[in-house]
Chains A and B, each alone.
Chain A
Amino acid sequence: MMARGFDHALIRAQFPILEPGVHGRHLHYLDNGATAQMPKAVLDAIVRHETRHRANVKRSVHFLAEAATEAYDDARESMKAYVNAASEEEIVFTSGCTGAINLVAYSFGSLLEAGDEVVISALEHHSNIVPWHMLAKRAGVVVKAIPVTPEGRLDLDALPKVIGPRCRLVAVTHVSNVTGAETDVAAIVAAAKAVGARVLLDGAQRAPHGPIDVKALGVDFYAFSSHKMFGPNGVGVLWGKSELLARMPPFLGGGEMIARVTLEETTFAEPPRRFEAGTPPIAQAVGMAAAARWISGIDQEAAHAHLQSLTGRMLEGLEGMGGGRVRVVGPLGLQNRYPVVSFIVEGGHPHDICQLLDEEGVALRGGHHCAQPLMNAFGVTGTTRASLALYNDADDVDALITGLGRALKKLHL
């Protein structure tokens, strides 16, 4: 049942890792865009599974195997609910978001012909660039990219030029892992559908912020990972429309993805099993499902308001710091953006900023964020990024701003 309102202290208390602090200081964990921490509900679900139901799935008939199979099936049911899929068969457990996109690039990609086009964007994480480059090399598919605006959003004016009649798939991020900008999915879907192309959304940065409605989005594939949405590492989900998954050949072979194997040939199981070769990440899927249920139990409107307020506080604090040396990279407003804030310090390197802030207990990420084309578009080699989660509060934001001020002094900036 969803709780009404948002009690930040109650949320924070559910995250044991935040309690002890670091370097003898309170931990201000602002690296949630890389990995979010796990609440006790998720940790307990994993421990309960591993101590009571651990066995392989879909193979044996003993008590533990039945319990493990049921837990794995329940996890799929939870993820179906989280993305509002039409059926559990549309939920494929993968190794993560990268694994999910690679699955589509390999399997859907094998249905494409030389000269067909896949459109990505300059805003993408490498995980939504490299698999398409590999496909281009393998199959002669042409990769095109939607440029970005100076504000770090997709340049929608360029869509007619980039999405042409040979386009078969548009694969773009739902929320940028660098700028926090939310993609105008309706515009992308309209442009893609106009030429009969499919749409894949990389939802890694969107999935932590509440349930997703893939039907309302109108897309064909949706990929996301568990560890950014308060779940364990090593698991993610690919949601795909059933009619598409049914047409796609397997990605990896072995395990329960088969219908029948002889020495001469193999026939394959129906989706989603066709795409889950080998022993799946069972406990991880159980943990991911627990995370999805935990997020779903929070008052989404109140949580959104909390994070919007913190994002505004951070943007206000950062912009113009250091006599104008600090500059936010990405949207300065709160419209259509998520709580991921990147900034550059003129004359300062992100690694130095992050190292000095770490000593203040502030955990940030510095570097190119696996988005080198975007860094090139901005003319920088890297940025410093602060990304918020539900357990963050104003104290975390203030620690960043105060610590950054001290770091600038230390670096004589």
Chain B
Amino acid sequence: MSDLYQSDLLRLAASADGAGRLEPPRASVTLDNPLCGDRVTMDVRLEGGRITALAHETKACVVCQAAAAVIGRHAEGLDKDGLAAARAAAEAVLKGGEPPAGAWAELALFKPVAKVKSRHACLRLPFRSLEAALAADQG
């Protein structure tokens, strides 16, 4: 069956890293994927524009859950520019490229998603939610 559903991606999704809620968050945003009903709520706390804590509640497919888990693992400490770089790495993977070495190298697990356009939004949703949470905090 599909290389999309490789064991490593399934394990990443099942890890649910970062799953939960922050009480109280500094900012919280819920975004939907209108195509399939995926829903991600992203809570963040920030100091000086940097993420000091985050938690996500992800009701979604394996791709979206795995993307949320990657963010849960690696997004702490990022500022707006760092998040933009992470998003750019994800976009590069969706175009069939390689992610940069380092924290976001794990995005390579999503390479099979590049061929399935209808699933791109699933990978993007947690990134979009986190971007929106940062933007919400900055007013």
Question: Which A residues lie at the B interface, using CB under 8 A?
Answer: 349-352, 355-356, 359, 366-368, 372, 375, 381-382, 406-407, 410-412
Contact = CB atoms under 8 A, between A and B. Distances in A.
Contacts, number: 52
B61 A351 contact: yes
29 contacts: A349-B60, A349-B61, A349-B62, A350-B61, A351-B36, A351-B38, A351-B61, A351-B119, A351-B122, A352-B63, A355-B4, A355-B5, A356-B2, A356-B5, A359-B1, A359-B2, A366-B36, A368-B37, A372-B37, A375-B37, A381-B37, A381-B39, A381-B59, A382-B36, A382-B37, A406-B1, A411-B5, A411-B10, A412-B10
If over half of B's interface residues share one DSSP class (helix, strand or loop), that class is named, otherwise mixed; here it is: mixed
Given A351-B63, A366-B36, A411-B10, 8 more contacts: A351-B38, A355-B5, A355-B116, A355-B119, A367-B36, A368-B37, A372-B37, A412-B14
A350 B38 CA distance: 10
Given A351-B119, A410-B1, A368 B36 contact: yes
A235 B67 CA distance: 40
Contacts of B14: 412
A411 B4 CA distance: 11
Nearest to B7: A412
A367 B60 CA distance: 10
A352 B1 contact: no
B101 interface: no
B65 to A, nearest CB: 8
A169 to B, nearest CB: 27
Interface string B106-124: 0000000000100100100
Given A351-B122, A355-B116, A381 B4 contact: no
Interface string B42-70: 00000000000000000111110000000
Interface in B14-42: 14, 35-39
Quick one: which of B4, B59, B61 has the most chain A CB within 10 A?
B61
A136 to B, nearest CB: 21
Contacts of A375: 37
Contacts of B1: 356, 359, 406-407, 410
